Structure 1
Amino acid sequence: MNKPGIHIKQLSLSFSGQKIPLFSQLDLTLQPGQWHCILGQSGCGKTTLLRLLADLLPKDVAWSGELSASDNQSISGRVAYMAQQDLLLPWLNVLDNVCFSFRLKQGKASAAVQERAIQLLHRVGLGEKLHARPSQLSGGMRQRVALVRTLIQDKPLVLMDEPFSALDAVTRYKLQDLAAELLAQRTVLLITHDPQEALRLGHHLFLMQGRPGRLKHLPIPEGAPPRAINAELAVKQQAIIEQLSSQGERNV
């Protein structure tokens, strides 16, 4: 798979009726095949940045700047988006939810797509739940279905907007490891409020600050992700929490 990096240069973005832009001359590079995690207070623009890349911005948003892929091909059509909510359709079973995007585009999922979906569902421990409805699944199971639905699209750029935040600690930890394994070699941008999650999964960490928003690059622990929780990670986590807390106090 081609692994494009993404370059955002001199991004300025504002919502209609707002005097202060959300971003002004913001730069960000996503390295090919690596995880990039952005932390920040609510409302600082993290999700808006994801929606820009996914071409999901509302019409009242005006933006300028350069948005390009490192291979000089269009970003459009090469993005998979995983939201905080699983967004499963309650009237479809697990397999049909995973293959839903293919049904939308092609009328039905091919036999090859369905076979790939079944393989991935077995890989995430849901091989016995192919025909279950979302209401029959736990929260962690539903998020695993959403993860498989993201993977089955086979896109090189994956955007994740706090996909594990609603889960209990043990389930969240397991899904972080699973996502790191199954999304290896993809270019990933993860939005999170959890410093520990960012430190475990990121090759690159950024803190979104201020209005207009700017990105501060943060140091990361040694070793390839997913990283084990240890003393070094705990110290860095506390330092990030203090930065987030001081930013929140300035915004009060």
Structure 2
Amino acid sequence: MDDVSFRAGRGERIVLLGPSGCGKSSILKAVAGFLTPASGAIKVRGREVKGPGPDRIVVFQEFDQLLPWKTIRQNVEFPLRVASKLSKAEIRERTETALGKVGLERVIDSYPHTLSGGMKQRAAIARALVTDAEVLLMDEPFAALDALTRSQLQGELLDLAEELGFTLLFVTHSIEEAILIGTRLHLLSPHPGRTITSLDTQEFGREDVGTARLENLTREVHDLLFLPKIRKDVLENV
């Protein structure tokens, strides 16, 4: 990566979009505190990120992020038991509330191997929400799901973002998903990843699925990412 810079305000949903190998996941891991930037700095509320912290929670694509020997309740409770000073009653209440928000109250005492991929992802999201983190980091969380489950979880994520007001940094390879999830797209060039441009997409929502205007923007974003000459012409006219 080279010269990548952006800001994310409270409640914004920033989507990193670019070809494989451009550094999207590396940016996410650096914001999470798992990687140290070669240059520059990452700050949350004005304080430089030096490592992982409870203010930033990561949800990965892989479904094995849940501990298989613990129930869904125990998985969601885990970060609170490790890092908080809440009472057992408070932990129980927050866990049940978070699982209710993602529609998993009926399987709260089930084990991960008994759940579908989509339900496991909901549990991982609940585990992130239970900590009241300010920043939610998601690395292609819906990529391995079928189309219907993916669409459903996209909608649930948007509802939770509206309700809870967390800042979202989201990585995806899907241009349409990026437009629907994000309030702003940050486009990256092929390796080494550089900023191409940022696009405001907050006017787009689920009601735009299948519309001409969504298809037109999807095509425009594709051209910006993959067709250098068109990218140059478009940006010169912005």
Task: Place the TM-score, normalised by the shorter chain, in its bin.
Answer: 0.7 to 0.9
Bigger mean CA offset, 207-216 vs 182-191: 207-216
Among 185, 189, 214, the alignment partner of 2:169 is 189
- Alignment partner, residue 34 of structure 2: 56
Distance 2:4 2:54 in 1: 24
- Residues 102-153 of structure 1 show CA distances to partners (whole Å, capped at 9, x for unaligned) of 2333699732122121122223221110111111101111111111111111
Among 158, 174, 177, the alignment partner of 2:155 is 177
- Alignment partner, residue 216 of structure 2: 235
- Alignment partner, residue 17 of structure 1: none
- Residues 82-114 of structure 1 show CA distances to partners (whole Å, capped at 9, x for unaligned) of 111131111111101111112333699732122
- Alignment partner, residue 82 of structure 1: 59
Residues 1:162 and 1:152: Cα distance change in structure 2 (over 3 Å) = same
The correspondence of residues 220-231 of structure 1 with structure 2, limited to 5 A, is 220-221=200-201, 223=203, 225-226=205-206, 228-229=208-209, 230-231=211-212
User: Is contact 1:221–1:232 with CA below 8 Å preserved after alignment?
Assistant: no
More strand by share: 1
Distance 1:234 1:65 in 2: 36
One-letter identity of the residue aligned with 2:29: R
TM-score normalised by the chain length of structure 2: 0.84
The answer for unaligned runs of 5 or more in structure 1 is 1-22, 248-252
- Alignment partner, residue 46 of structure 2: 72
Distance 2:123 2:20 in 1: 27
- Alignment partner, residue 219 of structure 1: 199
Among 165, 168, 180, the alignment partner of 2:143 is 165
One-letter identity of the residue aligned with 1:232: R
Distance 2:54 2:3 in 1: 26
Deviation at 1:224, TM superposition (A): 5.6
**Given the alignment of the two structures, is residue 32 of structure 1 paired with residue 10 of structure 2, yes or no?**
yes
TM-score normalised by the chain length of structure 1: 0.79
Distance 1:221 1:190 in 2: 14
Distance 2:87 2:169 in 1: 27
Among 126, 140, 143, the alignment partner of 1:148 is 126
Deviation at 1:78, TM superposition (A): 1.3
One-letter identity of the residue aligned with 2:90: A
Distance 1:62 1:34 in 2: 23
Q: How many residues align?
A: 221
User: Is contact 2:13–2:168 with CA below 8 Å preserved after alignment?
Assistant: yes
Among 183, 188, 211, the alignment partner of 1:203 is 183
Among 101, 114, 136, the alignment partner of 2:79 is 101
More helix by share: 2
User: Is contact 2:182–2:202 with CA below 8 Å preserved after alignment?
Assistant: no
Distance 2:218 2:138 in 1: 20
Bigger mean CA offset, 195-204 vs 102-111: 102-111
